[in-house]
Amino acid sequence: MSGSHDHTHSHDHHHHHDDERWKHDGVRVIPGNQLDPNVPSTAGMDRKAAINFARVGAQKLWAGTVSIKPDAKTGAHHHGHLESIIYVVKGKARMRWGEKLQFTAEAGPGDFIFVPPYVPHQEINASPDEVLECVLVRSDGEAVAINLDIEPVEKPENVLWVDPVHRHPDEKK
């Protein structure tokens, strides 16, 4: 488009062009019952893709759901260079991470979990009778899951969520 564009004429054809473009490349709704189960799998979990490159052309994000049966846990894995965010919808999640899965933390409905790139981790359903349901978002349109063969330490170290809002229980008030 040149700088000497004439702005006096009607803009109708611009709107029409945008309408066509936005109609198919605009907002997309992916119904929850139409998620794609064809994603890299890790033992013990049921992953489904909602938003990815293949389905909607997402370049920088992957999003989907994960469910883990009661008392079940996944194999140890990491997601390469991707950052992951897990939002717990229902149930009780226990995360283990580290070279020997020696650290642990728990999360419940409404909690967010952040997993940095290359961190070996394992998701555990800490409830004996309720399915763990999570929403998962990753920082790339393609899914990456590298399953690891890790011998876990028997008793993981509990890592408390310590920040300005959550004080360590041992800390004096």
What are the 10-residue block averages of pLDDT along the chain, 173 residues in total? 54 65 83 87 85 88 93 91 96 95 95 96 95 95 85 72 61 57
| 52 burial level (CB within 10 Å; 0-12, 13-18, 19+) | buried
The beta strands (E) that lie in 25-83 are given as 46-51, 62-68, 77-78
pLDDT of residue 53: 87
| Residue pointed to by tokens 């919808």 | 89
Whole-number Å distance between alpha carbons of 130 and 14: 53
Beta strand pairing status for 77-78 and 132-138? Answer: unpaired
pLDDT value of residue 122:
94
Position 60 scores a pLDDT of: 92
Residue 115: the pLDDT is: 96
- Predicted local confidence at residue 120, as pLDDT: 95
The contacts of residue 126 (CB under 8 Å, 6+ apart) are 92, 93, 94, 106, 132
Q: Which fold has domain 44-158?
A: Jelly Rolls (2.60.120)
For the chain, report the end-to-end CA distance as a whole number of angstroms.
65
**Structural tokens at position 142:** 């393609």
* Pairing label, strands 157-158, 103-107: parallel
> What does the domain layout of the chain look like in residue ranges?
44-158
Check residue 19 and give its pLDDT.
Answer: 77
Is residue 144 classed exposed, middle or buried when 0-12, 13-18 and 19+ CB atoms within 10 A define those classes?
A: middle
